[in-house]
Structures are given as structure tokens and as C-alpha cells.
């Protein structure tokens, strides 16, 4: 089965290479695609956070990853692709919860989006408290170490 999507928007920011750390200061503009009416952003400012679903457009098929060490770091055990958030996925789709900073016409400004300039956006959803995890979030210790500099 083949599934096709058309981007609903495009990411604009200063990051041009897909690197792993120091995303915290990056402010991104997400601009609606021409075929999406401006009204698609009506009342979006009522929300503090959004979920951005995007396409890792620079991933090459040869780089797809199924199992290995996170960030190729020998200190970590092998984990499957579905046990980490690596970009080189069987379906190169990213998901990030962002803080909405500003909405103007066909553009929203957001913080905490780890997508590079020119990244196609597949969907934008508001964060509802009711969809957030109901219990304590559990994760392996290596995740905290790996993410130490991600949002600084």
C-alpha cells in the first residue's frame, strides 16, 4: 500500500543541517502551503502548544535504521528504531510538541521544533491536556544523558 501526502506548510528557520543538539534557541516560522486557506489557522492562538508532524525530507533510503546504538555511541546498548526518535526511520516522519509564540496571517512562530529549514509539515494539531500521558513517564537512563544538550 502506498500513502501520499501533500505538505500543509513549510518550516523556515536558521538551521540548515540536521544536527542532534542545541535546538533550544531556534525559532521557527511555519508558513501554510498555497493551497491551504488562511482560515486553517483561525483561533490557533487560543493554544499554548501544538504538535507538528513533519517529513524528514533529506533522509536517504540507504540511511534507514532498524537497530543500533543511539547516536552510534558505543556506551549505549543496541535499541530498535521504535525505541528511539532517530530521523533515519522506515517512514521518515517527525513529531514534536512546540510552544506557540505568535500567529500572524499564514505564519505561526514556534519554539522547540527540531526540524531544519525547508522541512515539509504534514499536519499541525493543538495540544489538549486530555491527550497527554495519564501516568508517570518511564524511560531508560541513556535518554536523559543523550538529550542533555538537545534543547539548550
The alpha carbon torsion through 116, 69, 92, 61 (nearest 10 deg) reads 110
* Contact partners, residue 78, CB within 8 Å, separation at least 6: 67, 68, 69
pLDDT tens for residues 66-120? Answer: 999 988 889 899 999 999 998 899 999 999 999 999 999 999 999 999 999 999 9
H/E stretch holding 142 reads helix 141-146
Domain of residue 38, residue span: 9-146
Q: How many domains does the chain have?
A: 1
Determine, yes or no, domain membership for 1.
no
Determine, yes or no, domain membership for 71.
yes
CATH number at residue 46: 2.40.30.70
Nearest to 47 by CA among 133, 93, 122, 110: 110
Determine, yes or no, domain membership for 152.
no
Determine, yes or no, domain membership for 151.
no
pTM (predicted TM-score): 0.93
Determine, yes or no, domain membership for 25.
yes
Amino acid at each position: 500500500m502506498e500513502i501520499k501526502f501533500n505538505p500543509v506548510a513549510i518550516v523556515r528557520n536558521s538551521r540548515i543541517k540536521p544536527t542532534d543538539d542545541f535546538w533550544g534557541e531556534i525559532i521557527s516560522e511555519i508558513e501554510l502551503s498555497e493551497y491551504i486557506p488562511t482560515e486553517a489557522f483561525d483561533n490557533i492562538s487560543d493554544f499554548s502548544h501544538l504538535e507538528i508532524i513533519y517529513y524528514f525530507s533529506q533522509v536517504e533510503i540507504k540511511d534507514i535504521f532498524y537497530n543500533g546504538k543511539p547516536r552510534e555511541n558505543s556506551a549505549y546498548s543496541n535499541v530498535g528504531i521504535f525505541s528511539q526518535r532517530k530521523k533515519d526511520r522506515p517512514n521518515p516522519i517527525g513529531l514534536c510538541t512546540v510552544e506557540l509564540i505568535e500567529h500572524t496571517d499564514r505564519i505561526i512562530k514556534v519554539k522547540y521544533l527540531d526540524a531544519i529549514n525547508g522541512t515539509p509539515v504534514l499536519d499541525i494539531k493543538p495540544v489538549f491536556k486530555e491527550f497527554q500521558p495519564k501516568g508517570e513517564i518511564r524511560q531508560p537512563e541513556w535518554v536523559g544523558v543523550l538529550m542533555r544538550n538537545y534543547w539548550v
